[in-house]
Amino acid sequence: MSTGFDDLLNQTHKLRAEMEIGEDFPRIERNLVQIRDAAFKMATKTPSFNAEKTDIKAALLLSSRGYDVSKSTQKLESLNRTKTFEPLEPIKDVDIQAFLKNEYENAVLTAVEHTKKKTFEEATEAHWEMHEREWEKEKRKIMNSLVDLADENLDFSTVSEQSFSRTMPMDVSCRKVEEQMGDNVIYFVQIQQYNESSMKADARNVLLDAIKKLDDQNLQETWWMVDSLSSITGTSTNKFSSSHRSSPSYQSSLIRQSLSHLEKTNVKQMERLVSMNLQYAQRGGIPGTYNLIKSLFNIKFGAGGRGASYENDLIDGYPAWAFVYHCLRSGDKAAINQVINKSRNVIGDFANYLTEYTSSDDRRLSAGSEREVRLQYRRTISSSKDPYKRIVYCVVGRCDCNDDHADVATTTDDYLWLKLSQVVVALDSNDFSNTVDTLSLGQLQIMLFETYGENHFNASQDPLLYFRILMLVGLFEAAIEFLSRFDVYRDVSVHIAIVMNACNLLLLPANVNSHLLTRDQSDGHPIRRLNFARLIMLYASKFERSNPIKAVHYYYLLNDLTNQEGDNLFDSCISEVVINTREYDLLLGQLQLDGSRKPGLLDQLNVNVNKIIEKVAKELESTGQLNDAVILYDLCKNQTKVIDLLNKLLSQIISSPTRRSSDNIKKIAISVAERLQGSGTASIPNVATFHLLLDLMTFFSYYYENCIEDAYNVIKELKIISLTEDSLEDRLKNVGTLSDEVRRCLPNVLLATATIITQLFNRVIGPIVNDPATSNNLLRRYRYEMHCLVSFCGSMPYRMPADVTARLVQFEASIK
């Protein structure tokens, strides 16, 4: 039954009507084209694979090409898929020769590559090591030039202020140059005597002998102070440990020596004042400190001295407590005992305390007596109007340490004497908070060095005053570093450091490259360390080129120190001096004709000169100064190094025309060869090479002097090149046994020999030889020798320069 379009349209309207009866759906209006496109899109998304239809299509395709589908199917089913798809076994390589050759080549290439890599690494490492050493030297020079900048942080914003603060007063900075040079000569003579002394005399006594020769009174007084402090006991031979600084024996000795110096200085000042005022002093003829104090009172208080009594306590008509104070200040026990005997009715029970105080070696009362004196001071004496009475009680009882007693202690020396007298030995400064009214040595050092400092004492205007303050309280390192900042007193500071170091009174840092003044974390708060090595090197570096003898003697003071590499510091410094000045004969000695060494300056000191010479030679060799290195190795009788270096040098110069530098090497080589006759000090191969190079040197000397017959005879006798066919094989084998130094000369030897043969050939052609038969024989022989020479060059197992071979061929062609 056929269906027309009208029927389809009616069915469509019917379906649409049925759809509109139900729920409201959105109406979609599509035309036929849109419906067709949507149908195709849905068809493409739906899988349409059908295995059966695909098999049919495949069968039709194969049939159309003439294949029998049924037989093909049977063949495919009969195949064993398991064996077909298993992996095949690899075919083994049975070419053993090719395999071994490949392995050998791989091993050679691996060795070459490894050696190349290692060589580059070693060269790079050596290169950077050399740069580091050079930089270390330059760094030391730069740091040494910054001698005034001892702080670790360089604050350039305060340079101008520091420079003004360190400006010396006009009368000090304008000392005559002649006086400074004279002092330097005096010091150096004493240092030289000390170094050259076989018994090693005491450095303190040797240098202090120079005091009598100094013209400056201030310097003399400074040196007398150093003399007193250099007698301190309780020191340690370990200059890198500060543990002894806190020991009771060391502190007691330091305070005792400092007080002794201050008291002696006070007596000298009183004597000077009395001698200047004899009319008022009324000294009389009775010696002793007691009468000296009387004379002082006559000048200070007037005749009789009664006007100064604050509490009407008199001794022989003079103020009692002032008398007691000046006797204590002078340190004269006899004068103190004399005062005690005459003043028992005046000072009462305090006489007993005073007797106990003076009889003690440490000038200290017993614990009970000290408590009683302190109790009396707090109750009554502290309110007394007599300043001398108050200060005497504070000194004897070590109390009221905060009172400076400025009305009595009017000078810096008086102030130092007062504070040192009040110091309690071996008191830990960290426990001071638990101890009332007590002063330790560490607290006194902190107060003077850090709390007050340079500005308080106007140190830039009077450097010696601040220097003496630091020295008397035991801050030797800080005192020397401070004084070394001033050019005028740098010489003094260096030589004071030498004395203090010889007496084991200086603390040194472990690193000789550190700053001039450093602080170690293991030390106490006020303690510093002085880089003695750097101080000496800075001082000696100024004249080591102009006066190496003087520099050597100062560097010898560093003989017991080592640098960071563990080398002796004196040896390192002397090596630099010798290299920079090139004064080999003066410092190290001179080689005599018989091979012995004439002593030099270093032989006067107790050092191993040969060790220093060898060290300098190694330095010269490492820097490429082989000519000087040969001389020094020969000086210390290291013949093996002499032969090795001479071989290197001769191989470079024997084939070149004569020069001044090469003449010196040739003379040294000849001298060494003469001394080596009958001596087996060096290895045989090196000596054989050395003698062969000397023979080649003789050959080239004849060659450049145009003595061609002599040169021709020499090269034939050496038998290192082949001039006959019979000797060719032996000469080629001999080349393999020659050293690199000799083989390096072979190209020039071949060219020189070819030139000689050509010149001899040309002489035969000329009118020199008149006999034709002889002439023809000579010509044939020279052609034959030239041909053998070219054959020898071409047969050598070493690659020769291309121009050498070409020139030899040209020589051969020129005589054919």
Alpha helices for 544-683 (secondary structure H): 548-555, 569-581, 584-588, 609-622, 626-635, 639-653, 660-676
Q: Which residues of the chain have pLDDT under 70?
A: 1-3, 17-28, 43, 45-53, 79-94, 141, 143-182, 198-204, 212, 281, 284-285, 302-312, 426-436, 660-661, 678-685, 766-771
Q: Which residues contact 518 (CB under 8 A, 6 or more apart)?
A: 509, 528, 529, 531
| Nearest one of 141, 165, 155 to 482, comparing CA atoms | 165
Token pair listed for 335? 């004068």
Predicted local distance difference test score (pLDDT) of residue 618: 93
- The residues facing 315 across adjacent strands are 318
DSSP sequence for 69-84:
HHHHHHHHHHS-HHHH
Report the C-alpha gap between 431 and 812 in whole angstroms: 102
User: What are the helix (H) ranges across 398-556?
Assistant: 412-422, 441-446, 453-456, 463-472, 476-483, 490-502, 532-541, 548-555
Separation of alpha carbons 481 and 467, rounded Å: 9
pLDDT at position 159: 34
The answer to whether the CB of 290 falls within 8 A of the CB of 315 is no
- What lies within 8 Å, CB to CB, of 222 at 6+ separation is 464, 467, 468, 492, 496
Burial of 100 (0-12, 13-18, 19+ CB in 10 A): exposed
pLDDT at 754: 93
Find, among 450, 543, 553, 558, the residue nearest to 501 by Cα. Answer: 558
Residue 228 and residue 418: Cα distance in Å, rounded? 18
Our CA angle for 202, 228, 451, nearest 5°, is 125
Q: How far apart are CA 358 and CA 396, in angstroms?
A: 9
Contact 245, 524 (CB under 8 A): yes
Q: Where are the domains of the chain?
A: 99-146, 174-244+445-542, 248-425, 638-814
Question: Left, alpha or beta for 638 (phi > 0: left; psi -120 to 50: alpha)?
Answer: beta
Q: Return the number of other C-beta atoms located less than 10 Å from residue 810's C-beta.
A: 11
> What pLDDT is recorded for position 163?
33
- Is the separation of the CB atoms in 208 and 215 below 8 Å? no
Residue 461 main-chain phi, psi, to 5 deg: -90, -30
The pLDDT assigned to 581 comes to 92
In degrees and rounded to multiples of 5, residue 607 shows phi and psi of: -135, 160
Q: Which helix (H) or strand (E) holds 32?
A: helix 32-45
SS3 666: helix
The b-or-e profile of 267-291 (16+ CB within 10 A means b, else e) is: beebeeebeebeeebebeeeeebbb
Query: What is the DSSP annotation of 461-474?
Result: T-HHHHHHHHHHTT
Q: What is the pLDDT of residue 6?
A: 77
- SS3 state at 428: coil
Identify the sign of the CA torsion 345, 349, 354, 356. Answer: positive
Which residues, 6+ apart, have CB-to-CB distance to 505 below 8 Å? 229, 230, 232, 235, 476
pLDDT at 682: 52
Q: How far apart are CA 166 and CA 147, in angstroms?
A: 13
- Say which DSSP state 800 is in: P
The 3-state DSSP class for residue 684 equals: helix
One-letter amino acid of 531: N
